[in-house]
Amino acid sequence: MPDKEIKVPNIGEFKDVEVIEVLVSNGQSVSINDPLITIESDKSSVEIPASFEGKIKSVNIKVGDKVSEGDIIIILENIEEVKKDILEQPKIEKEEEKDQIKKETILNNEPKQNFIEKNISGVSAASPKARKFARELGVNINEIYGSQRQGRVIEKDVKNFISSNINKSTEIKEAQLKKIKSEFSHSDFGEVEVKDMPRVKKLASTYLVNSWTTIPHVTNHDEADITEMDEFRSSLTDMYTGERKKITPLAFIIKALVLSLKKFPSFNSSIDDIENGKITIKKYFHVGIAVDTPHGLMVPKIRNADNKNISYISSELKTVSDQCRNLKIDKKEFFGGSMTITSLGGIGGSFFTPIINYPEVAILGVGKAQKKQIFINGKFESRTMLPLSLSYDHRIIDGAEAARFNNDIKENLGKNFAYKLAL
């Protein structure tokens, strides 16, 4: 029986990718999924894990080598040895081994992921030095977004991450200590099933908890009268086919939000350096959109929304939400936003309390527009009303400013929307 070879798996269209780290050495035992090497293209870096377990007979590559799919990374000890071991083991252990072999087959038959998918699923690009440093300090490097090109993490980012988390971790530890422990487990009351949380949800939970526990949130609710805008939207047809154009209210809301951000720059800011009393005002208008996907919530950006018209924004909305749902979006697209819109308008409901997408300072929640009887100029009229829920960081935005901001959005979506949104 020959030795077992571990090869470079499918890495998408990438070829001759540089090995930046070799994480194992001859004679070392590895388990399935243990990282073996790190490779890096100009798009991202990923660790290649072991697809079998065993003892390393030889490591076939070194730092600086270029590898492509199918290249042999390491050779594991002769499989005869493993077989001999199995024969010598008691029956009960053989069953375990069978499970292991079954696991291996499943692993090898699993659809292969490509580079971008791994990148979006949360693997940070990092220099080998930064990786080593993070590993030594017990920091998960994938939780860090780096300061270098395409979010690449360097040693300094690891240091910054640690210092900014020291206070947080003390608070979290205190909170954990205070957690109420139930005397009973769920299964004491009937059948239950424990499942793994999707990876995107796990990653998002760190950000959500950070936002919820560190930002003093307030939410202002309001309703925008979008009657004229909605009639216009529903009347849009394709010039050539005459078919109805499918542009959702969200494209108009993005444009309206950009106008309000221009008027109220504090909503387009971040206060990551609050200890030194510094506010970063962004001069760009990258609007985040919360996208519901089977993997969890993702928030890609519509970049430079101020320079795009409604049709363009509408088709970009479709493109980025499809990319998120198919896990074909670069991790960097989840960063560098001005403010986020979270729209439940296509699903239902009116008002809610959205959580700010840190390090932003405000988020606009949009509910489902409904026809309502509104008292205008002494009589009731049927108008289409859009529920708005604006959550903001009270350290930087006051309630009065938030109410004015909502008024401005209402104005931008109101009767004179065409003039306001330059249609």
Compute the least distance from the CB of residue 49 to ligand CAO, in Å.
32
Binding to ligand CAO, residues 376-415 (CB under 6 A): 386
Other Cβ atoms within 10 Å of 248 Cβ, number: 14
Alpha-helical segments (H) within 326-373: none
Give CA 163 to chain center in angstroms: 23
357 lines the binding site for ligand CAO (CB under 6 A): no
| Residue number of the CB atom closest to ligand CAO | 345
299 lines the binding site for ligand CAO (CB under 6 A): no
Burial of 240 (0-12, 13-18, 19+ CB in 10 A): exposed
Q: Name which position in 17, 22, 287, 291 contacts ligand CAO (CB under 6 A).
A: 291
Compute the least distance from the CB of residue 309 to ligand CAO, in Å.
16
Torsion (CA) 305, 306, 310, 314 in degrees, nearest 10: 0
Compute the least distance from the CB of residue 384 to ligand CAO, in Å.
8
Compute the least distance from the CB of residue 294 to ligand CAO, in Å.
11
38 lines the binding site for ligand CAO (CB under 6 A): no
290 lines the binding site for ligand CAO (CB under 6 A): yes
Quote the DSSP letter at residue 126.
B
Please, which residue, 27 or 346, has the CB nearer to ligand CAO?
346
Encoded tokens for 208: 């959500």
Residue 217: closest CA among 399, 30, 412: 399
Please, which residue, 56 or 289, has the CB nearer to ligand CAO?
289
- Answer for the pair 50, 36: CB distance below 8 angstroms, yes or no: yes
Which DSSP string do the residues of 38-51 spell out, in sequence order? EEE-SS-EEEEEPS
Q: Which phi and psi angles does 284 have, rounded to 5°? A: -105, 165
CA 372 – CA 187 distance, rounded (Å): 47
Please, which residue, 23 or 386, has the CB nearer to ligand CAO?
386
Per-residue buried b or exposed e for 37-57, using 16+ beta carbons within 10 Å of the residue's own CB: bbbbbebbbbbbbbbbbbebb
- Answer for the pair 200, 297: CB distance below 8 angstroms, yes or no: yes
368 lines the binding site for ligand CAO (CB under 6 A): yes
Please, which residue, 354 or 359, has the CB nearer to ligand CAO?
354
Compute the least distance from the CB of residue 346 to ligand CAO, in Å.
2
Binding to ligand CAO, residues 235-274 (CB under 6 A): 246, 248-250
Tell me which H or E stretch contains 35.
strand 35-40
Compute the least distance from the CB of residue 338 to ligand CAO, in Å.
17
Q: Name which position in 69, 77, 81, 292 contacts ligand CAO (CB under 6 A).
A: 292
Q: Which stretch binds ligand CAO (CB under 6 A): 32-40, 211-219, 276-284, 286-294?
A: 286-294
Q: Which stretch binds ligand CAO (CB under 6 A): 59-67, 77-85, 287-295, 404-412?
A: 287-295
286 catalytic per annotation: no
Say which of 217, 221, 295, 394 is annotated catalytic.
394
CA 77 – CA 127 distance, rounded (Å): 31
Enumerate the active-site residues.
394
The residues of the shown chain that bind ligand CAO, judged by CB under 6 A, are 246, 248-250, 289-292, 297, 317, 321, 342-346, 354, 366, 368-369, 386
